[in-house]
Chains A and B, each alone.
Chain A
Amino acid sequence: MDALELARWQFGITTVYHFVLVPLTLGLSVLVAIMQTAWVRTGKEKWLRLTKFYGKLLLINFALGVATGIVQEFQFGMNWAEYSRYVGDIFGAPLAMEALIAFFLESTFLGLWIFGWDRLSKKVHLTVVWLFAIGTNLSAYFILAANSWMQHPVGTAFNPKTGRAEMKNIWEVLGNNTTLLAFPHVITTAFLVAGGFVAGIGAFWLVKKNRANKDDADIPLYRTAVRMGAVVMIIAGVGVIYTGDLQAKLMFKQQPIKMAAAEGLINTETGADFSLLAIGNLAGDNPASVKHLIAIPGLTSYLATGDFNATVKGTNALQAEYATKYPGYKATPDYLPNLAVTYWSFRLMIGFAAFAAATALAGLWLTRKGKITNQTWFSKLAVWSIGAPFIGASFGWIFTEMGRQPFVVAPNPSAFVDGVDSVFLLTQHGVSKAVSAFEVGLSMVVFTLIYAILGVFWFRLIRRYAQEGAPEFAEPIVNDDDDHPLSFGY
């Protein structure tokens, strides 16, 4: 493999790894803040115990998310120096804003939250957790603004004098319609992930306690967790579907070839079907061999335009169109993203999310009207399906990033006038020139190995702490005595 291919693998591995962890942090930080708010407002012990229980799990997850995020920022310069030179003028801005506006907020207030239980008053400590949660979610906004710009470059123009893309309007970048849909889609996904996490672990305990002793005092606590998590999942699930649908329609306009590939739509069709399964050579060498097996009539057309009978362009037509509009300036590129990857990742994304939402409905049904379930099948299913939204979110990222290929900055069809003011960049031209395949390969292998080892610790710690259950109630006592020690976290 050459440096380009290795750098792409490294980007993919880091991104998927980072975005397995991050959605849980995004959603759970808010859910924990809500639990703590409920405690401060109602004074009920169960809310403080839930705050501490899920808060501990949040911290275990947060540490690894931060660690992978550092690599995410610096690999643009390390592996993608030519990309950074070409777009840094505009792409660097949201990244710098993320650090300055969001990262400082989240990391400073997280420190205050962990160590501040007996130093800050209840209300101040509650404000602190909210600022942490807000910082976390703000960082998602800026990173999505940066990513959306790669999907749909706006607010920019090519400057022939400097030979790079330059910023024209920051509001267009931050208000990119691609971002405005990607952000709620990612945030609702994060709540699906976090809701599933809270409900799944809650269900495990609810059933376990209920089977051991029907009068266990902890039962209401875990029932609350199950219902809170499930309600969050249902609301988030609706949001995921709604924003996903809007995003798909926008993507048909902005990146038509990505969506045509996702649908396995080879030829231009009117009233195009949405297939659940496809066979044939999806790898792209011979798109004509693709056959759809189970298909829902007209759904692809509906996803694209909101009209079941609309005509949607297939990859063949788009490939020809792209070749004339966006000439490659070294080799002749193939404008089609990997068909198999886009087709299947799109379906797996939807499938895993739908599965998660279905278990949430089951959870709500089993705990309706004050009922308490003791079904072991349900607790097993709930625990296993904790993973589903994580996997769905990962496939979503694989889809959105792989579907952008062979571009690292996908062209913006509406900004294209005569080839001068349109900004786009092929991935092959973005890779660092100073870096050898050996160097990228070494860092890719070592980072992946380290992620894997740390991932094992992450998983085992989360499992251990989940198995430990909610801690006993202990009212935090604020101590103003200067001789009293600080609370110890480590």
Chain B
Amino acid sequence: MDLAVFWFILIGVLWTGYLVLEGFDFGVGMLMPIVGKTPKGKRVLLNSIGPVWDGNEVWLLTAGGAMFAAFPEWYATLFSGFYLPLFLILLALIVRAVAIEYRSKINDETWRNRWDLAITISSWIPSILWGVAFANIVRGVPIDSTGTYTGGFFNLLNPFALVGGLTTLAIFLSHGSIFLALKTKGEVMDRAAAWAKKFSIGAVVVGAVWALWLQLAYSNNAWTWGALVVAAAGLIGAAWFSWTGKFGWAFIANVVAVIGAVTLIFGALFPNVMPSSTDPAYNLIVHGAPGLVASSSHTTLVVMTWVAGIFTPMVLAYQAWSYWVFKRRLSEELIPEHNELKFFTKSA
């Protein structure tokens, strides 16, 4: 297989890893007010993702780094073109990282409530904007002969992209509530299970609309119908298992749905990485079509293939181990007291 194609697939895999993993921790963040509800409930929620959210986020850095190394043109056009949405995402990720780490450091209700609000908002923003971004990539945006994006911010806010945003939002909410139903006990689990039923149905409805729209209007390939079916089956499965109370299976079904959805997106794009709505001759491509080849040189791809081949299995192994170590459920009754540290009073 052509190395550029291999890296196109690998980048799809990295994004899948990111959306599957940070998908549920975004979901948990968004659900703080409605599933967490009480101060103790919120702590249960945060601690359910505590050991892993940072590692989950690295999938984004790796996907971004891999795009930079393997498809510099894609990386450059995408990140400069989608400037404001990415700016908002980065802003949210900064605030979120600090909020999760700092919220419990001071024993003060106002302090915690404000950080919790920050966690919630900063989980909503990327959950919507990632869908908007991917929808626009598939749909095609104005790109000129030098590979430069020429549209403005409002160009990115089209109906297809907005439904795309709702799709990632619905899937993450469903994914997060299912994760919580799997990971907690007691009242938190009951609330999570109740919400999982609603969100998983919502994800099926919104996801179906968006996937069909994508396939009919923007796919370059007929085989992506297969990916669409997998994605749909995953979402329906997640809803089914949520309603029957089998949350382990529901979680796996959601993972299948994300795999199907990313395959659909990347499959629909191929052989482009980013189509130009200005002129097909300006498409950024993997290979073999009119347009600008976006990939790196053969030497770079060979080097990166070795690196990925050696280190990806190691990463998967130790990340899997960390999930194994923290596999137990959490519940409200077992929460320890807060430390007594206040922000202003000096200790003796």
Between A84, A95, A100, A104, the greatest number of chain B beta carbons within 10 A of the residue's beta carbon is seen for A100
Q: Are the C-beta atoms of A66 and B79 separated by less than 8 Å?
A: no
Listed residue (A112, A164, A168) with the most chain B CB atoms within 10 angstroms of its CB: A112
A78's partner among B50, B86, B106, B330 (CB-CB below 8 A) is B86
B72 CB within 8 Å of chain A:
yes
Instruction: Assess A74 versus B90: contact at CB under 8 Å? Given A92-B68, A93-B69.
Output: yes
Q: Does A488 belong to the interface (CB within 8 Å)?
A: yes
> Chain B residue with minimal CB distance to A120?
B325
Q: Are A439 and B72 in contact (CB under 8 A)?
A: no
Whether the pair B307, A59 counts as a contact (CB closer than 8 A) is no
CA distance A484 to B333 in the complex (A): 11
Provide the bound-state CA to CA distance between A95 and B68, in Å: 8
Cβ-defined contact, B65 with A96, below 8 A: yes
Contacts of B106 in A (CB 8 A): 461, 464
Whether B78 and A77, one on each chain, are in contact in the complex, defined by CB atoms closer than 8 angstroms, is yes
8 Å CB contact of A170 from B68, B93, B303, B330: B303
Interface digits, A100-120 against B, CB 8 Å rule (1 contact, 0 not)? 110111011111101110011
Measured between beta carbons, the chain A residues less than 8 angstroms from B307 are 93, 96-97, 100-101
Q: How far is the CB of A435 from chain B (nearest CB, A)?
A: 5
Q: Does A89 contact B (CB under 8 A)?
A: yes
- Shortest CB-to-CB span from A452 to chain B, Å, is 12
CB distance from A462 to the nearest CB of B (A): 10
Residue B102, interface by CB 8 Å? yes
* Alpha-carbon distance between A469 and B346 when the two chains are bound, in angstroms: 12
- Return chain A residues, CB-CB under 8 Å to B60: 70
* B252, chain A: closest CB distance, angstroms: 21
Tell which of B141-149, B156-164, B273-281 binds the partner. Answer: B141-149
Q: SS class of chain B's interface: helix, strand, loop or mixed?
A: helix
**In angstroms, how far is the closest chain A Cβ from the Cβ of B294?**
10
Q: CB distance A100 to B90 under 8 Å? A: no
Which of B168-176, B196-204, B263-271, B311-319 binds A?
Answer: B311-319
B4-63 interface (Cβ within 8 A of A) = 43, 46-47, 50-55, 57-58, 60-62
Contact residues in A for B65 (Cβ distance below 8 Å): 73, 92, 95-100
Cross-chain contact of B330 among A70, A99, A433, A486 (Cβ < 8 A): A486
Task: Please provide the 9 A-B residue pairs with the shortest distance between their CB atoms, ordered closest to farther.
Answer: A88-B72, A77-B79, A92-B69, A63-B101, A485-B334, A92-B68, A96-B65, A81-B80, A111-B51
Task: Name B residues whose Cβ lies closer than 8 Å to a Cβ of A.
Answer: 43, 46-47, 50-55, 57-58, 60-62, 64-66, 68-70, 72-73, 75-81, 83-84, 86-87, 90-91, 93-95, 97-98, 100-106, 146-150, 296-297, 299-300, 303-304, 307-308, 311-312, 315, 318-319, 322, 325-326, 328, 330-331, 334-336, 341, 343, 346-347
**Can you list 21 A-B pairs, Cβ within 8 angstroms, ordered by A?**
A60-B102, A63-B98, A63-B102, A70-B97, A77-B64, A77-B76, A81-B79, A84-B72, A92-B65, A93-B69, A111-B54, A114-B50, A120-B325, A432-B80, A434-B150, A442-B87, A446-B91, A464-B106, A485-B330, A488-B47, A488-B336
What is the interface of chain A, defined by CB distance below 8 A to chain B? 59-60, 62-64, 66-68, 70-71, 73-74, 76-79, 81-82, 84-85, 87-93, 95-101, 103-105, 107-112, 114-116, 119-120, 159, 162, 164, 166-168, 170, 432-435, 439, 442-443, 446-447, 450, 454, 457, 460-461, 464-465, 467-469, 482, 484-486, 488-490
